[in-house]
Amino acid sequence: MAWQGIIGHDEVVERFRRTMARSRLASTFLFVGPPGVGKRTFALKLAQSLLCDTRPPELLDPCGSCASCVQVRAGTHPDVDIISKPADKSSIPVSELIGDEGKRGREGLCHRIALKPFKGGKRIAIIDDADALNEEGANALLKTLEEPPPQSLLILIGTSADQQLPTIRSRSQIVRFRPLEKSTVADLLLREQSASDANVAAQAAALSGGSLERARDLADPELWTFRDTLLNQLAQPSIASVELGKRVNAFVDEAGKDASARRSRARQVIGFAVEFYRQLIRALAGLESSGDDSLGRKVQRTAAAWQGDEETAVGCLDRCLMALAHIDRNANQATLIESWADDLGRIVETGEPIVLET
């Protein structure tokens, strides 16, 4: 059963219904779970429920058509404030929270959430990309977290509680959103026409980790064509690192001029390498592959000719995971990819791991 069109989170809905029935809604929540599973949508539907002009908040059943519901959906409600990490930044600027220098404490989310609700009811603030809060940003939130303004609700949205600083975790009620079922992801891809057919939808859903956002990216046919090219190169007894770096950089550049699109594609490509080395480690340990048939065949061929041991494969996996972390920090992608490819070649050749600063 889907609450307000949100599939897969009935347990979370019931938790909030019980809380609302007891009139014990907390002032701060931390929503965590994979990207693209509905956390932000849930936060907005909760805001509609609390601000709806015609339905009692405890019902969690907003009408969807009154002025307040329409304004929340359009992002124009005066009592709802949403901030997120800018596409060209590696973290949420502290000015978004407490204002620019010279106006500190008189602007920003922390100032606005403390104002009296414009329409009565509550002031609601949503921080998307809470994983992108740096230490300065988290400290800027501290007073709001410790002394929540009356009639306020703050919702932080991230991927993992472990990504948040202790000052946030200890002062928030954590709500965990589970990954979506593969069948649900595939159905949603077809329903919104993000996948060309059922096979593409199933293939994307299988590697999505339960994230509709990631599945949408994976439904690109060009990505799967390049995946075969990538896996063929990784499956060789030795990696032609210069050629690998050039091919990956060229494919990333084909995503266009938008930096976020290129960053997303780089993350997808290196994510394929992560899955390859995870499956290779399983094969070297004598376990069956849990990947698709194409990946399984390439992994078995690699394992049969592998010159190193499991630790060598682990070293390759670690280097891929480090590359993903650097992508999320907005490192120069061309240099990052060239370095990543070169390091993989050296690890496979020497069996020695590469130690990088995090």
Torsion angle, alpha carbons of 263, 74, 215, 128, to 10 = 60
Q: Is there a domain that residue 208 lies in?
A: no
Let me know whether 72 and 166 are in one domain. yes
Looking at the structure, do residues 145 and 263 belong to the same domain, yes or no? Answer: no
Tens of pLDDT along the chain (358 residues) come to 578 888 889 899 999 999 998 888 999 999 999 888 999 999 999 999 999 999 999 889 999 999 999 999 999 999 999 999 987 787 899 999 999 988 888 899 999 999 999 987 899 999 998 998 989 999 999 999 999 999 999 999 999 998 888 889 999 999 999 999 999 999 999 999 999 889 889 888 988 889 998 899 888 888 889 999 999 999 998 999 999 999 999 999 999 888 888 888 999 999 999 999 999 999 999 988 776 778 888 999 899 889 888 999 999 999 999 999 888 777 888 999 999 999 999 999 998 877 765 4
Residue 158, C-beta contacts closer than 8 angstroms, at least 6 positions apart: 30, 31, 32, 129, 130, 131, 164
CA 307, distance to chain mean position in Å, is 36
- Sheet with 80-83: list strands edge to edge: 80-83, 123-127, 152-158, 28-32, 173-176
For residues 154 and 231, state if they share a domain. no
Tell whether 137 and 257 lie within a shared domain.
Answer: no
| 156 in the same domain as 31 | yes
Considering the domain architecture, whether residues 225 and 170 belong to the same structural domain is answered as no
CA distances for 342 relative to 4, 17, 230, 278, 309, angstroms: 49, 53, 14, 19, 19
Tell whether 251 is covered by a domain.
yes
Give residue 261's pLDDT. Answer: 85
| pLDDT score for 242 | 96
**52 domain-assigned:** yes
The verdict on pTM exceeding 0.85 is no
**pLDDT value of position 176:** 96
| Domain of 125, in residue numbers | 10-176
**Does 190 fall in a domain?**
no
Domain end residue (candidates: 148, 176, 204):
176
Q: Is residue 207 in some structural domain? A: no
Structural domains counted in the chain: 2
The answer on 238 and 168 residing in a single domain is: no
User: Are residue 269 and residue 338 in the same domain, yes or no?
Assistant: yes
Please give the DSSP secondary-structure letter assigned to residue 287.
P
pLDDT the model gives residue 356: 64
